[in-house]
Structure 1
């Protein structure tokens, strides 16, 4: 399994960066190779990606989410193996560090080759730069979800 880690400092308050990241269906606007993300409920998303000519569909589950701090997920169904976390660190009133860490297990010859050549690492670095441009140009978030998901109780309902 490969671990990719990238951080970017964005010129928006922490709540703005966090709120935008909760808008999963907007990810194709700044993530290369992400064709569609459909939010199924507060905890689950269905992804369609096209990377290196390989189309994949998979479902993710958010296992830990704390507003203005972190979102952690894992793939639960599909032909992709990954988990990750994005953390938000307030630098000052108008600047935030967004740090993405992903553990990815490449499957198939094309993905394993891409991983060895550093393609996955470069793609994630590019996605983070595009997120920075996206949120700074917007000047505000397109929406927000401020709920709490706790890892110790994955099936329990939660309130906003």
Structure 2
């Protein structure tokens, strides 16, 4: 069974700011609550260490598409199976919309429970809220 989530947040910061923050992988643990470490392996691949309720996960993801100030897409190549895309939309000179979409394969009871009870959506929504705070404080 595969699961997916889509979350969107409007941010009082221009696309240039939201893009700069999200495209810097070293910043991800500061707004993605379940991400402990993201370590670049080369210019397209990153080793992730996640801390999730009931399980720690390690995986390698590669960037499949990078369009500056527009979208970043990735998919895993080792470990847990998932793929995602984050898109950046200009609302005005001073505001933007960020949309996160993830497709994943829940493995194990806790992850199935998360997919069934929308915990994943809640977590993604929380993380986008943290990203919003970070972006708005960077302006």
Scaled to the shorter chain, the TM-score interval is: over 0.9
**Equivalent position SS for 2:19:** helix
Q: How far did residue 138 of structure 1 move?
A: 2.4
More helix by share: 2
CA positional deviation for 1:73 = 0.4
Q: What is the deviation of 1:53?
A: 2.4
Q: Distance in 1 between matches of 2:10 and 2:103?
A: 22
**Matches of 1:12 and 1:51 in 2, distance apart?**
30
SS in 1 for 2:65: strand
**Which structure 2 residue ranges, 5 or more long, are not aligned?**
none
- 1:71 matches 2:62: no
Counterparts in 2 of 1:1-150, with a 5 A limit? 1-78=2-79, 80-139=80-139
Secondary structure in structure 2 of the residue aligned to 1:41: coil
Structure 1: 5+ residue stretches without partners: 140-160
TM-score normalised by L of structure 2:
0.95
Cα displacement (A) at 1:32: 1.3
**TM-score of the aligned structures, taking structure 1 as reference length:** 0.83
Alpha-carbon distance in 2 for matches of 1:19, 1:42: 16
Question: After the TM superposition, which of the residue ranges 58-67 and 24-33 deviates more from structure 2?
Answer: 24-33
Does the Cα contact within 8 Å between 2:17 and 2:138 map onto a contact in 1?
Answer: no
In the TM superposition, structure 1's runs of 4+ consecutive aligned residues that sit over 4 Å from their partners are none
CA shift, 1:83, in A, is 0.3
| Matched-pair contact (CA < 8 Å) for 2:59–2:78 | yes
Aligned residue for 1:151?
none
| Higher Cα radius of gyration | 1
RMSD: 0.9
Deviation string for 1:7-54 (max 9, x for gaps)?
111111111111111111211111111111112222111100011120
SS in 2 for 1:128: helix
Greater mean deviation of Cα atoms: 69-78 or 10-19: 10-19
